[in-house]
Chains A and B, each alone.
Chain A
Amino acid sequence: MATSLTLKNIVTKLGQGLFVLWAAFTISFVLLQIMPGDAILVRFMDGDMGLTPDAIASIRTFYGADEPFLVQYFQTIMAYLTGNFGNSVISGMPVAQEIMVNLPRTALLAGLGFTGGVTLALIIAVLATLPGFRWIRNLFQAAPALLASVPVFWLGILLIQIFSFRLGLISVIAPGPWERLILPVATLAVPIAAPIAQILLRNIDAFSVQPFAYVARAKGASQRYVLLRHVARNAVLPVLTIAGVTFGELLAGAVVTETVFGLNGLGRLAERSVRNQDAAVLQAVVLIAAFGYVVVNFIVDMLYPLIDPRLRKPQGGNA
């Protein structure tokens, strides 16, 4: 749980965020640059490439592979701090440049996907609590579990098939800039919506039987009013935390959706880097993800006290 918003807390949270970034860098550095070690360079030694030992040696020097671990580590950290993420082993281009080209595309996709996911979750929650036919309620209460069980890549394929090929609603050959995003966003929204809808429904159930909801009914409020004015705000609060956690899910989802829909972006970049064992690129993507996670969760921590009055002031000594 977040604590009250004081300068000390803000500084602590910032410090924690920086620690997470540093640790994520270290872990990914050890995983991706040290442990595979020469394995990355094995490809250059492949006889088919016809490189001379001298050429290989110069490539090794170029990538700094012969330096001791700590030297590489500090060199890389300093380089990262100045925005130099190294070079892609495959394209030879600076990783930073590849990231800058792809980041805005994925950011747009992720932003729309997140908005769509939250909207979908809210719609499910509202429909599941509508008074009326029990079976409709049951259906929508089962929806989050179903959404969480669908393989995202499969859903994407299905959507292309239905909307582009069967119904012809969305052009495959030359879609407009927004048109081409419709299906990927819809696909991405599903894995985001599932956990949020799940938490929303569980919270609505839990808060509906809280004594304060009962007291509101006793004041003469209708069930609907209590749901909207008392239960909803309490139920939405923990969703904020989930929203922070699902941020990572967005990037994972982008890997799949961009691959399925043939879009360029960070996800596709990550997918390609794994296929080609291009570790420098993958490490940069991992760090971008960790950075996004830290920023989003910092914002969530700062937002909490604005929404929950209990976190605003230190509690007094009244039990």
Chain B
Amino acid sequence: MNKPIAAVYAGLSQDVPVLSVRGLSVAYDGRETVHDVSFDIGRGEVVALVGESGSGKSTTAQAIIGLLPENGRLTAGRIVLNGEDISVWKGRRLDTIRGTVVSLVPQDPGSSLNPLRTIGSQLTEIWRLHGHRDTAAIRQEAVELLGHVGLSHPELRFGQYPHELSGGMKQRVLIAIALALKPALIIADEPTSALDVTVQKRILDLIDKLRVENGTSVLLVTHDLAVAGDRADRIVVLKGGAIQEADVSSRVLGYPASAYTRQLLADIPSRTHFAPRPAIPRAAAPIIEVRNLVQDFDAAGGPFRAVDDVSFSVLEGTTHALVGESGSGKTTTARAVAGLSKPTRGQVFVNGRDITALRGEPLRQFRREVQLVYQNPFASLDPRQTVGEIIAEPLRNFGRPDRAERHARVLAALEQVQLAPELAERRPAALSGGQRQRVAIARALILSPRLLVLDEAVSALDVTVQAQILRLLDGLQRDLKLTYLFVSHDLSVVRGIADTVTVMQSGKAVETGEVQDVFEHGRAEYTRALIRSIPGGRYLER
């Protein structure tokens, strides 16, 4: 994979392409969402469709495999697969090529397998659907394939149900299904976006390996330009349903032709440019001190230790990042610092006071000092309130200033997060994800807290919006001398904006230190694995 195959395909494909999309337009309920899209995929080639949400990349992929939602229609264009125009095919005839000539690796492995049927029955089904009848041979081939996609104990997996497998294992099963009949083209629709970062890399490596072995072509649909650069020979950048730019990967990443691609490139988390962080003042006092924090939860299979003896401290005016994958305990730790959970053991000092002992009114008063911003701005704002009411609510909880003063402070807070004052009258449903997150930040800032806990606060956002919010947070910190506890699964986001970092794995802190130091001389094997998982190594300097 490290060898740039792209060179071979620098010009037009020499052979007949496996897939040739010409002038494709798709409409939902009569509204066109994909406009005049054309591209080719040569034999054994990887082409990436890159775009943000709403760019039409998934719609394009669905159109190619002939599975648009019921209200979607092809309005123009041709889809030529192996020399035949399948865009005019109907029903049964399309069924014969799905799985055999073109197959799919879906986005969310968690819900992409039938929960009531075994792995084996769902894998062998693809042979049976296409006329294979020799049960014993199918079974043997299926078990071999399960082993080949990297599942341990393939015989055991064959008889298991989806809920007994992890997300990464399920995605391997789905890759096995996609590859079973050795199709000419695999469509991988955001195949790793629901998975942890280290698992993402392993899954993408697996697709690469199998692709090379079988000479299969891949259409990789992704929101991540860095992933596309690492994995694809050519990149097609989509925005608003239209192609912005299409070229070999090295050129798209090295010499982007369109302004939009340049924007996307600048907003890749690891490349987002921030003013250099001021030196950490050695004399600064720690505002947070977490000592031997332990948090147990009752789970179905007995008590479960989510946080296991974690300690760190954060100096006033700095940003400390908590980084880890799902189940690492990073969010639980952050919630303890925000006073939202009662730790099983250990202490959390904020401004020198142990907050784990706080109850009732003192705890409520403590809320003025620490505010939390959630990951999902669609869930953290009450849909029935207006933006103005949402931002003013903390003021009403403390001291009840009169209506005029509340209004003035709401307008000031909106300006602080760079939102137009007229948004105060709107409800969250009328706002975009980025705007909502700004509202959540404004609500957090209105009590003038000294410490902000940001729980994956940019993870649910598109990269360009993500970069804007990160810049906003950076500016606010410098202006208001805020301290941030920044929780993220993505080490690359952390690099530009954090001073210190704690890397967590399975409830334990495996490494703590200054960001630069951890990136360059990470001691823990897990830290290095996380760093290796950051995409963009091929054409982008990390």
Do the two chains touch directly in the complex (Cβ atoms below 8 Å apart)?
yes
For the complex, is A214 an interface residue (Cβ under 8 Å from B)?
Answer: yes
Interface size of A by Cβ–Cβ distance < 8 Å? 30
Indicate whether B113 reaches chain A with its CB closer than 8 angstroms. Answer: yes
Within 8 Å CB of B300, what residues of A? Answer: 314-315
On chain A, the residues within 8 Å of B65 by CB distance are 218
Interface residue B407 (Cβ < 8 Å from any Cβ of A): no
B residues sitting closer than 8 Å to A (CB atoms) are 65, 67, 69, 91-92, 95-100, 103-104, 106-108, 111-118, 125-126, 129-130, 161, 163-167, 169, 174, 177, 300-301, 304, 326-327
* Cβ contacts A to B, 6 pairs, < 8 Å: A212-B111, A212-B114, A214-B106, A225-B129, A229-B125, A319-B166
Known pairs A218-B99, A319-B167. 4 more at Cβ < 8 A?
A219-B177, A221-B125, A234-B116, A309-B115
Indicate whether A176 reaches chain B with its CB closer than 8 angstroms.
Answer: no
The answer to whether A230 touches B114 (Cβ under 8 A) is: yes
A211 to chain B, nearest CB (A): 4
Indicate if the CB atoms of B106 and A234 lie closer than 8 Å: no
Picked from B103, B165, B301, the residue with its CB within 8 Å of the CB of A317 is: B301
Among A219, A234, A316, the residue within 8 A (CB) of B126 is A219
Encode A18-47 as 1/0 by CB contact (under 8 A) with B. Answer: 000000000000000000000000000000
Chain A contacts for B161, CB-based, 8 A: 309-310
CA distance A147 to B118 in the complex (A): 37
Complex Cα–Cα for A218 and B169 (A): 20
Please report the C-alpha to C-alpha distance between residue A216 and residue B111 in the assembled complex, in whole angstroms: 12
Indicate if the CB atoms of A316 and B114 lie closer than 8 Å. Answer: no
- Minimum CB distance partner of A308 in chain B: B116
Q: Which of A219, A222, A308, A317 contacts B125 (CB 8 A)?
A: A219
B99 touches A318 (CB 8 A): no
| CA of A219 to CA of B214, assembled, Å | 18
Residues of A within 8 A of B177 (CB): 215, 219
Residues on B with C-beta less than 8 A from A221 are 95, 125, 129
Q: Are B103 and A218 closer than 8 Å at their CB atoms?
A: yes
| Residue-wise interface mask of A (277-319) relative to B, using a CB-CB cutoff of 8 A (1 in contact, 0 not) | 0000000000000000000000000000001111001111111
The reply to whether B98 and A220 form a contact with Cβ atoms under 8 Å apart is yes
Q: B497 to nearest A CB, angstroms?
A: 28
Is A233's beta carbon under 8 Å from chain B?
yes
CA separation between A237 and B116, bound complex, in Å?
10
Other-chain contact of A211, B112, B164, B304 (Cβ < 8 Å): B112
Write out the residue numbers on chain A whose beta carbons fall within 8 Å of the beta carbon of B113.
Answer: 212, 215
How many whole Å from B414's CB to the nearest CB in chain A?
A: 38
Given A211-B108, A218-B103, A220-B126, the answer on whether A233 and B166 have CB atoms closer than 8 Å is no
Q: Is the CB of B164 within 8 A of A316?
A: yes
Q: Is the pair B111, A318 in contact by a Cβ cutoff of 8 Å?
A: no
B178 (CB) vs chain A CBs: closest residue: A218
- Name A residues whose Cβ lies closer than 8 Å to a Cβ of B: 209-212, 214-222, 225, 229-230, 233-234, 237, 307-310, 313-319
- Distance between Cα atoms of A253 and B254 in the complex (Å): 75
A222 with B95: in contact, given A215-B174, A217-B67 (CB under 8 Å)?
yes
In the bound complex, residues from chain A placing their C-beta under 8 Å from that of B114 are: 212, 216, 230, 234
Question: For residue A212, which residues in chain B have a CB less than 8 angstroms away from its CB?
Answer: 111-115
Known: A211-B107, A218-B103, A220-B100. A309 touches B129 (CB 8 A): no
Distance between B112 CB and nearest chain A CB, rounded to angstroms:
4
A220-B97, A220-B126 known; A211 vs B111 contact (CB < 8 Å)? yes
CA distance A216 to B98 in the complex (A): 10
CA distance A313 to B300 in the complex (A): 11
B163 touches A222 (CB 8 A): no
B296 to chain A, nearest CB (A): 14
Q: Find out whether the CB atom of A211 lies under 8 angstroms from the CB atom of B301.
A: no
* Shortest distance between the CB of B196 and any CB in chain A (Å): 9
Point out the residue from A211, A219, A308, A319 that lies within 8 Å of B327, measured CB to CB. Answer: A319
Complex Cα distance, B166 from A310, in Å, reads 14
Chain A proximity of B305: nearest CB distance (Å): 11
B93 to chain A minimum Cβ distance, whole angstroms, is 11
Which single residue of chain B is at the shortest CB-CB distance from A309?
B161
What separation, in Å, do the CA atoms of A314 and B166 have in the docked complex? Answer: 15
When chains A and B are docked, how far (Å) is the Cα of A233 from the Cα of B116? 8
For the complex, give the distance between the alpha carbons of A221 and B97 in Å: 10
Q: Which residue of A lies closest to B103 (CB)?
A: A218
Q: Select from chain B the residue with minimum beta-carbon distance to A313.
A: B164
Q: How long is the Cα–Cα vector from A5 to B300 in the complex, in angstroms? A: 14
**Nearest chain B CB to A251 CB, angstrom units:** 32
